[in-house]
Chain A
Amino acid sequence: MAELTLVEAVNRALAHELEHDSAVLLLGEDIGVNGGVFRATLGLQQRFGCERVIDTPLAEAAIAGAAIGMAAMGLKPVVEIQFSGFLYPAMDQLINHASRLRHRTRGRLTCPMVLRAPNGGGIHAPEHHSESPEAMLAHVPGLRVVIPSSPSRAYGLLLAAIRDPDPVVFLEPTRLYRLFKQEVADDGEALPLDACFISREGRDATLVAWGGMLHEALAAADRLAEDGIDCEVIDVATLKPLDGETILRSVEKTGRCVIVQEAARTSGFGAEIAALLAERALYFLLAPVKRVTGYDVVIPLARLEHQYLPSVDRIAAAVRETMEASA
């Protein structure tokens, strides 16, 4: 079994599907000869040809729109948008067309496309390269929003996304692309969509996170364990549709919940999870639900970025507060 980084796992998943399904093709800016700005598609054009790994003109709306047309005609396009901060021009196509083509034609036309984009900050990138628009996307009826947190989940979830008959936005945490390696079996086995994963079991508090923040949550759980605080850590993985049951079961067990997101706080996806707990787990709670989030500010450039992103310190402090609130 190969030890892969997350970006290598993405590459393997794409290669696997290109190899096994002739309807699959990739399109995006610089994905061919160059292998994409993060090299997620490295070597794929050489292997599968420039008709199936397509370098496109620089036009996110047209890329997403063309993918919709391809998908409606029976192909399975996988779009790469270079950074999620460049995804906004494609939002019109995603919201007005991709997400509702099946619905508005009563299933006559469908849109089995995947739109991949690096997501989030932490790599000292320039402006507009560190955005976390997952809540905007998760708000759109008909879109699936998936965010992997490790190489093996990236591999299995991307396979599932490509095989899914509906449009999936697949947001890859930029910071995790090369942060660590993990053994990944390139066996074509998909992971389930629409499911949360329990990354660490615990009894005192539930930490809920996704993407890059899962690692901060796990690190915080390690630190809290030194003080005898036993945290359960949940990887949301598919934000929409949300597997609320796994989160609810955990919080019913622990009685405490801290939600971690790197996107700005207001109307972020953490608010959705907090509302779910308020509606369905209030009487199990021993302390108020807390959120640790980015601030409602423009994501700072590199020098202040670490002040913005939720840190292990902030997460651990939030968990301690929930413990104290219920002591």
Chain B
Amino acid sequence: MVADVSIPIDPLRFLAPDGALCGAPPAEAIAPELALRLYHAMARTRAYDSKAVALQRTGKLGTFASALGQEAIGVGVGAAMREEDVLAPSYRDHGAQLLRGMSMTENLVYWGGDERGSDYAVPRRDFPICVPVGTQIAHAVGAAYAFKLRGEASVAVAIIGDGGTSTGDFYSALNMAGVFDVPLVVVVNNNQWAISTPCSLETAAPTIAHKAIAAGVAGLRVDGNDALAMHHVANRAIETARSGGGATLIEALSYRLGDHTTADDATRYRDPDVVRRAATQEPIARLRNYLTKRGLWNEEDEARLGRENAEEVERAVEAYLATPPQSFAAMFDHLFAQLPPSMRDQYEEARRFASDGARHG
């Protein structure tokens, strides 16, 4: 496939920050049912996200990476995926993961320092959260190759941040996806910051989407704070991949309204006025304004959804806090399919000195 080398700089957008329609959205992209689904999912993600940050602040959770202000990306992508597709997420993609079936409790267990949080009851095939930046794109390429080889109608989707596109792994994996012509979608959450490094110091390319050109795959830009446009673009790319049309790189423009993680203090390197302005673009208020204007949403709906989300989050937190600690043996379980006999001594030493330990970091 010859890649489109005329990637527009202007991102695709259906919703203006005030929720007014703009551009020329196809009817299915702004269908009420879809818009409501995306809104519910974003509100649920934020309710979870803000509680996770609060738990960390009160010492009940380890370091957490908030998705504040970037909910439309995860939700747009997650809603466009089918159950049989596979997600290779980064550490900021609980929006997509929650939509795909990962429970809030599992995510809390993970950030609480317990490997059981990556053993998702659903979806079983999704990759665990990837911390080494950009490296999971190669896993998604391999997964996509497996789908193609077996004739499965599944698509692999990887999500990374803007900083991840500076890595060799990003380029080499995207290049391999182009060569192998596999059903892959790579979504770059361009939230403008790689910890304290602004996107302008990450690349001199005109846009991140242009990096697709070198890999010979399709590339495009979308307003990542516009859930409708985000979903539309992700859906199109995923269905293109599913129908044998190859890989797509999507640059989704957003802004990281929170810190990089709870261990970071973004006030050290960011202008508060810029952050305040960015907050006026955020995706949840934008879609709410749209829904309200269309008469699909009102204050009562909002209050009810808020209560439902709060209740779900509370139940998840209770389940998380009630999760019994792992035995010392968990360190050895699952390292290999069977513990090598030569590690028996280490196992016995750990048993001898085992203690309950602290539940929270």
Contacts and interface: CB of A to CB of B under 8 A. Distances in A.
Interface of A: 25, 51-52, 54, 56-57, 59, 61-75, 77, 89, 92-93, 96-97, 101-110, 141-142, 144, 164-166, 194, 241-245
B142 interface: yes
A96 B135 contact: yes
Interface string B305-348: 00000000000000000000000000001111100111100000
4 A-B pairs closest in CB distance: A65-B138, A69-B142, A241-B340, A59-B172
Per DSSP, are chain B's interface residues mostly helix, strand or loop, or mixed?
Answer: helix
Interface string B125-140: 1011011100111111
Interface stretch (B9-17, B23-31, B173-181, B256-264): B173-181
Interface stretch (B43-51, B92-100, B116-124, B350-358): B116-124
Given A65-B141, A70-B143, 12 more contacts: A57-B172, A62-B141, A62-B175, A65-B142, A65-B173, A74-B146, A75-B149, A106-B118, A107-B119, A141-B335, A144-B336, A244-B342
Which of A69, A93, A105, A164 has the most chain B CB atoms closer than 10 A to its own CB? A69
Given A57-B175, A243-B342, A142 B335 contact: yes
B168 A61 contact: yes
A289 B180 CA distance: 52
Which of A65, A144, A243 has the most chain B CB atoms closer than 10 A to its own CB? A65
Contacts of A105: 115, 118-119, 128, 334
A77 B169 contact: no
Contact of A70 (B115, B137, B146, B168): B146
Nearest to B336: A166
Contacts of B333: 103, 106-107
Contacts of B141: 62, 65-66, 69
A63 B115 CA distance: 27
A49 B90 CA distance: 35
B159 interface: no
Q: Categorize the interface residue count of chain B.
A: 35 or more
B111 interface: no
A108 B120 contact: yes
Contact of A66 (B86, B119, B145): B145
B146 A106 contact: no
Nearest to B121: A108
Interface string B214-225: 000000000000
Contact of B128 (A25, A93, A104, A165): A104
A51 B262 CA distance: 45
A56 B176 contact: yes
Nearest to B116: A106
B144 interface: yes
A77 B142 contact: yes
Contact of A241 (B118, B168, B180, B343): B343
B169 A102 contact: no
Nearest to A61: B169
B86 to A, nearest CB: 7
A166 B337 contact: yes
A151 to B, nearest CB: 26
B128 A67 contact: no
A69 B176 contact: no
B142 A110 contact: no
B156 A69 contact: yes
A171 B145 CA distance: 26
Contacts of A109: 125, 127-128
A109 B336 CA distance: 12
A72 B337 contact: no
A128 B169 CA distance: 21
Contact of B179 (A57, A61, A142): A57
Given A51-B149, A59-B176, A66 B142 contact: yes
B280 to A, nearest CB: 38
Contacts of A243: 342
A73 B142 contact: yes
A74 B147 CA distance: 10
Contacts of B118: 104-106, 108
B172 A61 contact: yes
23 contacts: A25-B149, A62-B138, A66-B139, A66-B176, A69-B127, A69-B140, A69-B141, A69-B146, A69-B156, A70-B142, A72-B127, A72-B142, A72-B143, A102-B335, A103-B115, A103-B334, A104-B118, A105-B119, A105-B128, A108-B120, A109-B125, A109-B128, A164-B337
A75 to B, nearest CB: 5
Contacts of B132: 92, 96-97
B347 to A, nearest CB: 12
Nearest to A75: B146
Contacts of B120: 108
A65 B342 contact: no
A106 B115 contact: yes
Contacts of A194: 340-342
A107 B180 CA distance: 29
Contacts of B86: 73
B330 to A, nearest CB: 8
Contacts of A104: 115, 118, 128
B337 A110 contact: yes
B334 A92 contact: no
Contacts of A101: 128
